[in-house]
Structure 1
């Protein structure tokens, strides 16, 4: 019984690997075009606020 289960599982694993190797879902990968990176340099003017401290009551 144990031998039968082992042979069955081994057969299923081998069939699975064969299906994986010879599957028809091939992906055609095109080479990526070499593009220069786009660098964003935002010009944001930051205004400094005056420090306002909350009253502590002590």
Structure 2
């Protein structure tokens, strides 16, 4: 019984490694990457408003 369990687990592990090696979920590693940094310059200047606290009633 122990031999059967060991052989079964070994076969399952082998199948798992074969599926991992031959999986079709591969990505392109030769994708072109734009190396220029993107600089954001805000055109609108925001004004800071003073905080107006609501009355608490205490």
Q: Same-fold call, TM > 0.5?
A: yes
CA shift in 2, pair 1:45/1:52, >3 Å: closer
Where do 5+ consecutive residues of structure 2 fail to align?
A: none
How far is 1:12 from its partner?
Answer: 1.2
Matches within 5 A, 1:9-48: 9-21=9-21, 23-25=22-24, 26-42=26-42, 43-48=44-49
Q: CA deviation at 1:40?
A: 1.3
Cα gap change, 1:52 to 1:16, in 2 (>3 Å): closer
CA gap 1:18/1:24 in 2 versus in 1, 3 angstroms: closer
Aligned residues: CA RMSD: 2.8
TM-score calculated relative to the size of structure 1:
0.57
Based on CA coordinates, which of the two structures has the bigger radius of gyration? 1
Q: Please identify runs of 4+ aligned residues in structure 1 that moved more than 6 A.
A: none
* Residues matched between the structures, number: 56
